[in-house]
């Protein structure tokens, strides 16, 4: 079965600072990978998804970007954080080639921008 | 209107009660359906898939009604540990494949 690792678990950053969150997946090859953000008390917002190395689709225009340098590595970045970037960031993975399967989530990174 | 809608609750029930959540989806091309559970400040975890014939896993029963475009989750004999947010999730493939998460229904089970 898949295991998704995310780090760091918590992060406090000043406004205007850069961001790099990393997600790695074990137990599967060529997964579909996803970045979500969840604001406090709210639902999941899909930010980016990737179906392969170097292939990134953006769902919401914003000051965040994503990259997939390796098959099982997905990175979320920002050059300058905004207060509104605070939230719970979740990486998810889904088996490729089986479109209707479920997604599995990593433990998340809780980001506070001050 | 959201593509997947859930009553946000909260549902406050005593231990041992039976509680039911409904979820409606608007896209008739939706193909697969799931219930996830999310504990406070944790990641969502798959609770169960939802099949057209209905399926049961212990105290949990999920049903799908394609004609009316809703899915349901029934929890029998509620435990304190069932307190969580329950997310309805729909996969569909129109205009590209997408997974849509509902905003969740909060459940509090009280002693």
pLDDT tens for each residue of A10-58: 999 999 999 999 999 999 999 999 999 998 888 899 999 999 999 999 9
pLDDT at B17: 98
Contact B31, B93 (CB under 8 A): yes
Contact A39, A21 (CB under 8 A): no
Q: Which residue has 């209905």 as its token pair?
A: B54
A:23-82 residues touching chain B, CB 8 A cutoff:
34, 42-44, 46
- Give the pairing of strands A109-113 and A87-94: antiparallel
The mean of the pLDDT values for chain A is: 93
Q: Which residue has 């969502």 as its token pair?
A: B44
Q: What is the DSSP string of A3-40?
A: EEEEE-SEEEE-TT--EEEEEEEES-SS-EEEEEEE-T
Contact B15, B78 (CB under 8 A): yes
| Binary contact (B32, A101; C-beta < 8 A) | yes
Closest chain B residue by Cα to residue A4? B43
Distance from CA of B77 to the nearest CA of A (A): 27
**Nearest one of B74, B89, B2, B52 to A102, comparing CA atoms:** B89
H/E run at residue A45: strand A44-52
Longest CA pairwise span in chain A (Å): 41
3-state secondary structure of B100: strand
What is the spatial distance between Cα A103 and Cα B96, in angstroms, rounded to a whole number?
Answer: 17
Q: Taking an 8 Å Cβ-Cβ cutoff, which residues of chain B contact chain A?
A: 31-32, 34, 41-46, 49, 87, 89, 91, 93, 97, 99, 101-104
- Give every CB contact of residue A10 below 8 A, 6+ residues apart in sequence: A109, A110, A111, A112
B67-111 pLDDT, tens per residue?
999 999 999 999 999 999 999 999 887 766 788 999 999 999 999
């Amino acid at each position: 079965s898949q295991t998704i690792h995310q780090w760091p678990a918590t992060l406090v950053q000043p406004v205007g600072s850069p961001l790099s969150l990393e997600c790695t997946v074990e137990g599967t090859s060529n997964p579909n990978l996803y970045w979500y953000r969840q604001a406090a008390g709210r639902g999941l917002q899909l930010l980016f998804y990737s179906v392969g190395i170097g292939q990134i689709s953006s769902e919401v225009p914003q000051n965040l970007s994503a990259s997939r340098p390796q098959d099982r590595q997905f990175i979320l970045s920002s050059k300058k954080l905004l207060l509104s970037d605070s939230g719970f960031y979740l990486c998810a993975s889904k088996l490729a080639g089986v479109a209707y399967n479920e997604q599995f989530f990593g433990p998340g990174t809780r980001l506070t921008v001050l | 209107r959201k593509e997947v809608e859930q009553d946000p609750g909260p549902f406050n029930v005593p231990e041992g009660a039976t509680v039911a959540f409904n979820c409606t989806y608007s896209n008739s091309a939706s193909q697969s359906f799931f219930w996830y559970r999310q504990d406070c400040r944790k990641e969502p975890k798959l609770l169960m898939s939802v099949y057209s014939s209905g399926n049961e896993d212990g105290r949990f029963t999920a049903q799908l009604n394609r004609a009316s475009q809703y899915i349901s989750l029934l929890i029998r004999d509620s435990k304190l540990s069932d307190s969580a947010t329950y997310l309805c999730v729909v996969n569909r493939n129109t205009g590209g494949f997408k997974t849509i998460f509902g905003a969740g229904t909060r459940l509090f089970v009280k002693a």
